[in-house]
Amino acid sequence: MYTIIEHIEYLLTSHDCVVIPGWGALVAQYTDSHYNSTRGHIERPRRELGFNASVDHNDGLLAQSLVRREGITYDAAIRFISQSVSAFRQQLSLGNEVSLGRLGYFHSGDGHRIEFTPFNHVQSNDSYYGLRNVSFRPLADETARAEAQAAAAAAFAQPTTGRSIAWRRPLQAAASIVLLLCLTVLLTTPVIINRNHHQDYASLNLPSVTKPQQQVIDMATSQPNRPRSEATQEPVKQVSKLLLDEGGKSLLVVASFNTAKQAEGYKELHPDLAEQMQVARVNARLYHVYVARSHDQSHLYSLRAKLPKGYEQSWVKP
């Protein structure tokens, strides 16, 4: 079953504006590379997604994509887009979020206004993939540090004065006296020979240390503490029940990749949910890694809140 989400993802790779008739427009906004004086680095160029709910006319771009890919008529494509928009509005009316695949999700704002929150790893940033911010030290800071190091080296290289030598001799004499006192105490400590055992041994005359008494725990009134590893694994045990409903069409997706090999590699890098992860092939260039599926999308949204830390960007694919 096809959806308009995968068509929107594809169109945003080559278009800066994709209109969803009756819903709004996703617009790509560019930010050039520039120097951030506060953080002290050059920020990379960015292409971020925004949403404009006032632009909801039908420009034919999304409908034509459905006609080409799905082999349906233009009128059928318009009806399908209208049905999808109605489903989006129903989800928002129930207080749920509307997932837009790997791009982000819609939610209701103040006054029931439709708002869009993009993901940081959205597919529309492919042209800038791999670029990072460049950090460096300002020349003035490097010069000041070099001057401070040179001043410190010059201070240690200065010859000692006669006054410092005069203070050093009494300190050396006091240190020698303290060392002699310690040796005197050590050599005058009595040695006790214990002959009451089969093997004679010598020991310093130190205070005896009694063996600590073993504590007895009443198992009827006391319980041992649960190991920390079991406590940290408790959220994963709750998630282990997520895959009971295998017949659903909607998926709780935690990641998407272009190849099946990348999807399997993601499972190996996340052993906490590896047993619950499944890979669903959407098309030849899109694979979803999901941990739950169901006919009830609201049930998947409730399960999303139970995922362990690190899966906050998971989404529900209708």
What are the sequence ranges of the domains in the chain? Answer: 4-139, 231-317
CA-wise closest residue to 312 among 255, 269, 263, 239: 255
Confidence of residue 211 (pLDDT cuts 50, 70, 90): very low
Q: What integer is the mean pLDDT of 128-145?
A: 75
Q: What is the pLDDT of residue 199?
A: 43
Q: What integer is the mean pLDDT of 249-273?
A: 86
231-317, which class in CATH?
alpha beta
- Is 314 or 202 the better-scoring residue by pLDDT? 314
Q: What is the pLDDT of residue 67?
A: 95
Contacts of 128 (CB under 8 A, 6+ apart): 44, 45, 46, 47
26 within 8 A of 15, measured Cβ to Cβ = no
**Average pLDDT score, the chain:** 76
Main-chain dihedrals φ then ψ at residue 102, nearest 5 degrees? -85, 0
> What is the Cα–Cα distance from 123 to 47, expressed in whole angstroms?
10
Three-state secondary-structure class, residue 219: coil
Q: What is the pLDDT of residue 186?
A: 75
Q: What percent of the chain has pLDDT over 70?
A: 73
> What is the Cα–Cα distance from 102 to 302, expressed in whole angstroms?
20
Confidence of residue 144 (pLDDT cuts 50, 70, 90): confident
β-pairing, 46-52 vs 24-31, is antiparallel
Lowest mean pLDDT among 86-100, 103-117, 199-213, 284-298: 199-213
Contacts of 107 (CB under 8 A, 6+ apart): 92, 97, 98, 115, 117
252 within 8 A of 318, measured Cβ to Cβ = no
- pTM for the full model? 0.41
Q: What is the pLDDT of residue 164?
A: 53
Lowest mean pLDDT among 7-16, 27-36, 69-78, 82-91: 27-36
Q: What is the pLDDT of residue 208?
A: 45
